[in-house]
Structure formats: C-alpha cells, structure tokens
Chain A
C-alpha cells in the first residue's frame, strides 16, 4: 500500500471494555512497531515484530495489552479491561529491515 494505515482513527471505550486496534503496514515491510503516545509526550515503544515473530514486548505496560501479527502483515493491538490511564494515541510504524520507520496516522483511544 501507499502508506501505513490504522483503524479505527478514533475509539471511545467505557472503562472495562476490550478494544482492538488494527495496523496495516506498508506492503513488503518486514518490521512492525507499536507505540503509545500520551498527550504532550513523545511516542513510547510498546512492542516490535519481525514478520510474524514478536521479538520484543518489553514496552507493554501490563498483561492487559496483547499484540499479534499472525501472517506477518496486518497487526492487531488488543487492550483488555481498559482503564482510564490507557487513553492515548496508539501509533503503528513499519520498516523494511532498515532503520527508518514509517508511521501511520494513529488511533486515538479515549477511555471513559
């Protein structure tokens, strides 16, 4: 595809609800990254995939956060039992084994 796409762009969830955020990387990109960006802050690393393998999940803040990329392309970030502190923009980026990451537009999550 022309760029990284993410859906939905906006999500409002009630506290305790489960949410799933989708990322479509640039076609052919091997690496996929998820970041969490709080208001007024820089993005913070959550997790990283190379193809379907999750190589680093050290940034996931709790076991309520789960990411998968079963076929090595589309990825889903799932947050179970959402809490208010989960409200943030979730950014996805992809790269072709190189160092430059290309970002999607993000999903803005608001937990009420």
Chain B
C-alpha cells in the first residue's frame, strides 16, 4: 500500500515571507515520483512541482522548491516570497498509483 501524510491541515504566512509545507510518504516502489499540486477555490488542480525519487538534487520551480529526504521519506514544499495568488489547498502526491495526502490549506496574510 502507498500512503501520503500531510500533518498540517492549515498554514498561514505573511505576504512576501517564506512558508514550508510538510509531507511524508510511504511506498514499496523503488522507482517513484512525488508531486505537489495546488488547488485554488476554483478547484482546478495545478501542478506545482515534481521530484523523481532517483534524483538527489532537490527540484526547484521559480519561488517553489522542495526538500526531498529519501531515507526519511519526507518531501516538503518551500514557497518563497509568498504572494496572494498562492492561497490554495496544497496536496502532496506519490506516483505510481497517484496517492494524495489530505491537503494543507494555505492562507496568505496581506
């Protein structure tokens, strides 16, 4: 079985500050991928960032970066210079058989 756990139901951050969202996972697969998806109130899931498990280098996409700790099965998302448009539910997911966590609702405080 594959599980993904997000232990922070809600987080808030001041605009322009940095926030880190936590995710732990468990999988029996040796070759897998991890994702962070963003779901704004409109409910369209948008890919934020992906990480191949075989790569040691942490993925980065502009203001978004991950801290991938394979041994600890941890995959956190760091958002730098937070913007109002970052407010959304954030889901961590593990592929194959895309399994999602329960999400973290991120609020940006102006």
Contacts and interface: CB of A to CB of B under 8 A. Distances in A.
Main secondary structure of the interface of B (DSSP, over half): strand
B81 to A, nearest CB: 25
With a 10 A CB-CB cut-off, give which of B33, B35, B98, B99 has the most chain A CB atoms: B98
Name the interface size band of chain B. 20 to 34
A56 B96 CA distance: 12
Nearest to A102: B47
B11 interface: no
A65 interface: no
A101 interface: yes
Nearest to B9: A40
A79 B33 CA distance: 31
Nearest to B37: A103
Contacts of A93: 45, 98
Interface string B75-110: 000000000000000010101111111110000000
B84 to A, nearest CB: 21
A99 B45 CA distance: 15
Given A41-B103, A45-B99, A99 B44 contact: no
Nearest to A42: B100
Given A42-B102, A102-B47, A103-B46, 16 more contacts: A33-B98, A42-B4, A42-B91, A42-B93, A42-B101, A44-B100, A91-B45, A93-B45, A99-B95, A99-B96, A100-B33, A100-B47, A101-B47, A101-B95, A101-B98, A106-B43
